[in-house]
C-alpha cells in the first residue's frame, strides 16, 4: 500500500461539479492499493499517519501530529500510485488491485484512520473521476510505502 501524504491549509474533492469533501488545516492522503496488501499494511500506515509530526509547534518546528492539532483528513483512492514506468511511455497499472480487492481495503483503511484520529475522515468516491484541489502548506509532501518499512 502506498500513500502520498500532504499537509494542507485546505483541500477539497469535487465530482461532477459537486463538492463531496472539504477540509481546512489537516492532511490530504492519496492511497494506492495493490493485490498483496492487507490489514498489516493498513495498521502500519495508520500508525505512521496519526503520529507523524508535520505540523508546526509554537516555535515553528514540525513537532505536532494531525491529532495534536485536531486537524482534518481527506482520503482519496489513487490506483496510479502503482504505475510502472520502466518500459515505454504509457504507464502500466498491473500492480494496482482490482476493485473487488481494493474497495474493502480502502474502506478498512478509512475506518481504522477514523478510529485512530477520533473524527470522521472525509473521502472521495472510489473509482470516480475526481477533481482534487489543495493548498499544500509548506510544501510538505511525504510518500510512504508499507512494503518499505525498514
- What b/e sequence results for 32-66 when a residue is b if at least 16 CB atoms lie within 10 Å of its CB, and e otherwise? bbbeebeeebbeebbeebbebebbbeeeeeeebbb
Question: Are the C-beta atoms of residues 73 and 23 closer than 8 Å to each other?
Answer: yes
Q: Residue 13 domain-assigned?
A: yes
Is the alpha carbon torsion for 86, 144, 7, 93 positive or negative? positive
Active-site residue, selected from the candidate residues 6, 50, 55, 78: 78
Return the pLDDT at 57.
97
Within a domain: 150: no
The answer to whether residue 15 is domain-embedded is yes
Look at strands 2-15 and 18-23 and give their pairing.
Answer: antiparallel
- The answer, yes or no, to whether residue 150 has pLDDT greater than 70, is no
Catalytic: which of 24, 80, 120, 141? 80
Q: Which domain holds residue 141?
A: 2-145
- Note whether 83 and 93 are within 8 A (CB): yes
pLDDT computed for residue 149 by the predictor:
78
67 in active site: no
- Is the C-alpha dihedral spanning 86, 82, 53, 137 positive or negative? positive
Q: pLDDT tens for residues 45-62?
A: 999 999 999 999 999 999
85 catalytic? Reply is no
Q: What is the pTM of this model?
A: 0.95
Does residue 112 form part of some domain? yes
Phi, psi (rounded to 5 degrees) for 138:
135, -70
Residue 116 lies in a domain: yes
Question: Which CATH number belongs to the domain containing residue 75 in this structure?
Answer: 3.50.80.10
User: Active site residue: 55, 79, 109, 123, which one?
Assistant: 79
- Per residue in 120-136, pLDDT (tens digit) is 999 999 999 999 999 99
pLDDT at 119: 95
- Give per-residue pLDDT as tens, 11-41: 999 999 999 999 999 999 999 999 999 999 9
Q: Is 79 a catalytic residue?
A: yes
Mean pLDDT of 70-85: 95
Q: Domain tally for the chain?
A: 1
Residue 98 contacts by C-beta under 8 Å, 6 or more apart in sequence? 35
Phi and psi at 95, nearest 5°, equal -80, -20
Amino acid at each position: 500500500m502506498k500513500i502520498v501524504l500532504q499537509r494542507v491549509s485546505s483541500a477539497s474533492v469535487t465530482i461532477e461539479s459537486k463538492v463531496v469533501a472539504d477540509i481546512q488545516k489537516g492532511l490530504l492522503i492519496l492511497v494506492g492499493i495493490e493485490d498483496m496488501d492487507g490489514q498489516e499494511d493498513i495498521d502500519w500506515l495508520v500508525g505512521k499517519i496519526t503520529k507523524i509530526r508535520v505540523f508546526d509547534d509554537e516555535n515553528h518546528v514540525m513537532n505536532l501530529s494531525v491529532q495534536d492539532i485536531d486537524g482534518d483528513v481527506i482520503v482519496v483512492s489513487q490506483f496510479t500510485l502503482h504505475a510502472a514506468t520502466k518500459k515505454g511511455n504509457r504507464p502500466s497499472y498491473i500492480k494496482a488491485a482490482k476493485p473487488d480487492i481494493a474497495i474493502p481495503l480502502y474502506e478498512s483503511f478509512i475506518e481504522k484512520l477514523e478510529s485512530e484520529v477520533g473524527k470522521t475522515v472525509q473521502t472521495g468516491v472510489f473509482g470516480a473521476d475526481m477533481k482534487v484541489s489543495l493548498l499544500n502548506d509548506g510544501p510538505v509532501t511525504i510518500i510512504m510505502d508499507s512494503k518499505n518499512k525498514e
